[in-house]
Amino acid sequence: MSRQAAAARRGVFAEPDFRRLWFVGLVVFLVRWLETLVTGLFTWNATGSAFLVATMTMLRLLPMGLFGAFLGAWAERVEGRTALLLTVAGSLLGSLAVALLAGAGVLAVWHLAALSFVNGLAWAADNPVRRLMIGRAVGADRMGAAMSVDVGTNNASRLLGPTLGGAILAGAGVAGAFWVSVALYAAALVAALAVRGRSPPRAPNGDGVLARIGEGWAVVRRDRRLAGTLLVTVVFNLFGWPFNSLVPVVGQEHLRLGPEAVGLLAGMDGVGALTGALLIAWLVPPSAYGRCYLGGIALYLASVALFALAPHPVAAGAALVLNGLGGSGFSIMQATLVYMAAPPELRSRVLGILSVCIGLGPIGFVHLGLLAEWLGAPGACVVSALEGLAALALTRRWWRELWTGEGRRPA
C-alpha cells in the first residue's frame, strides 16, 4: 500500500471546504441518477418510445459539447462559490418546477426534456466550477485522492440513486420523487453557502470569450500531456461509455434474463467502479496517475467485448465488474491529470474543454445505435470496443508521456 496515497485520502476530509464540496457532489450525483430513472420511466410509460428515453440521457450530455468551453471561460470571471451557488440553484429551480407540474397533473415529456437540458448545463459546469474548487481546497498533490473520493461517491450513487428513485416513485409518484430532489438540492445549497474559501474572479484583460477559449485550446495543443488526456477522453466517450445503453438489451435478448436479473446485472459495473475507486485512493501514487488512466480505459474497452461475448450471466457480470474497475481508473484520473497539467491561471478554461470532450458522447450513442441495427447489440459492443482500442493505439504519440510520466508539472 502507498502510505502517501492513504495519508492523502484521509487528509482531504480534514479540509472543511472539501467536505462541503464533496457533499454538494454527493447530492448532485444522487439526484442525477434518481431523476434519470424517474424521467426514463415516465417517458416510457407516456410514449412507449425507447428512442425518446435515450434522448433524455443525450439531452443531459448535449450542453457539455455545446457550452463546456464557454462555461469554463465564464467560470474564471465569476467568484467560485457564487458560480457554484448559481449552478445548484438552477438545478433546484428546475426540479421545483417539475414537482409543481407533476403535482398539478399537467407534467408532459417536454417538461422533462427541458429539465434534462438544464441539469446538463449544471453537469457541464461541474469540472470548471466545483472540481476546480476541490483542487484549490486540497492542493494539487492531493487532487488524485480527492478525485478518488469524489468519483467513488458518484459510483456509489449509481447504485443508490435508481433504487431510491424506484422506491419513491412506487410510493409517492413522480411529484414525490421530484420533491425529494428539491429537498436534496436545498441541502446542497446550504453546504455551498458554507464554503469559506474564495477564488476571486480573474480580472478582465479586454479579451473576449472566444479569445479566452482559443487561449485554452492553444495550451492544449502545446502540451502533449493535456492533448493526450483529452484525446483519450474523446476515445472513451465515442467508443466506450455508450455501451452502457445496450446492457439491458444484451441481458434480455442475448442472455435471456428477466427484468430483475437485468437490473442486478446492470449494477455490476457500479460494484467494480466503487471497488476500484477505493483501491486507487489507497494504492496509487501520483507518479502512476497516467498509467492508471491509460490502463483503466484499456481494461474498460476490453471488458466491453468480454461482456458482449459472455455465454453466461455470471461471466457477463464478471466482465462488468472489470468494466467498473477500468472505468474508475479512467474517470478518477481524467480531471486529476487535466488539473495537474494545466497552468493554474488557465485551469478553468481547460476543464471546460474537458467537458466539451465528454460532451461528444451523443455521437458515440448514435454510432453504437447504428451498429446495433446492423450487427445486433452484442456485435455492436464488440466492434465499438475494438474501434476504441485501435483509436487508443493510433493516438499513442500524444499520450505516450502520460504512460512514462515525463514532463509532469510540479505541484
Query: What distances in angstroms separate CA 154 from CA 159, 189, 274, 282, one per listed residue?
Result: 9, 18, 9, 18
Residue type, 220: V
Length of the chain: 411
pLDDT in the model for residue 1: 43
- Residue 79 inside a domain? The answer is yes
State the alpha helices, DSSP H only, in 194-243: 209-222, 224-239
Q: Of 80, 62, 20, give the one whose Cα is nearest residue 347.
A: 80
Q: Which residues of 79-92 are buried (b: 16+ CB within 10 A; e: fewer)?
A: ebbebbbbbbbbbb
Range of the domain at 152: 3-195+209-404
Q: Is residue 201 part of a domain?
A: no
Residue 282: inside a domain: yes
In the 3-class helix/strand/coil scheme, how is 70-131 assigned residue by residue?
Answer: HHHHHHCCCCHHHHHHHHHHHHHHHHHHHHHHHHCCCCCHHHHHHHHHHHHHHHHHHHHHHH
State how many domains the chain has: 1
User: Has residue 87 been placed in a domain?
Assistant: yes
The predicted pLDDT at position 304 comes to 95
The pLDDT of residue 410 is 40
Whether residue 152 is contained in a domain is answered as yes
Cell numbers that stand for 262 in this block: 437485468
Q: Tens place of pLDDT for every residue, the chain, 411 residues?
A: 445 555 555 578 788 899 999 999 999 888 887 887 788 778 877 887 656 766 777 788 788 777 777 776 677 677 878 889 999 999 999 999 999 999 999 999 999 999 989 888 888 888 778 888 888 888 877 877 787 788 777 777 766 766 677 677 778 888 998 999 999 999 999 999 999 877 666 655 545 566 767 777 788 888 888 999 999 999 999 999 888 777 777 777 778 877 557 667 777 887 888 888 888 877 888 888 899 999 999 999 999 999 999 989 999 999 999 998 999 899 888 888 888 888 877 777 887 788 788 878 888 878 887 888 788 888 989 999 999 999 999 999 889 888 876 544 444
Amino acid letter, residue 79:
E
- Indicate which CATH number applies to the domain containing 303: 1.20.1250.20
Residue partners of 96: CB distance under 8 A and separation at least 6: 178, 182
Burial (0-12, 13-18, 19+ Cβ within 10 Å), 398: middle
Residue 409 domain-assigned? no
Q: What is the pLDDT of residue 139?
A: 82
Query: Whole-model pTM above 0.85?
Result: no
Residue identified by cell 469559506 is 196
| pLDDT confidence of residue 204 | 56
Asked whether residue 204 is assigned to any structural domain, the reply reads no
Q: Is residue 411 part of a domain?
A: no
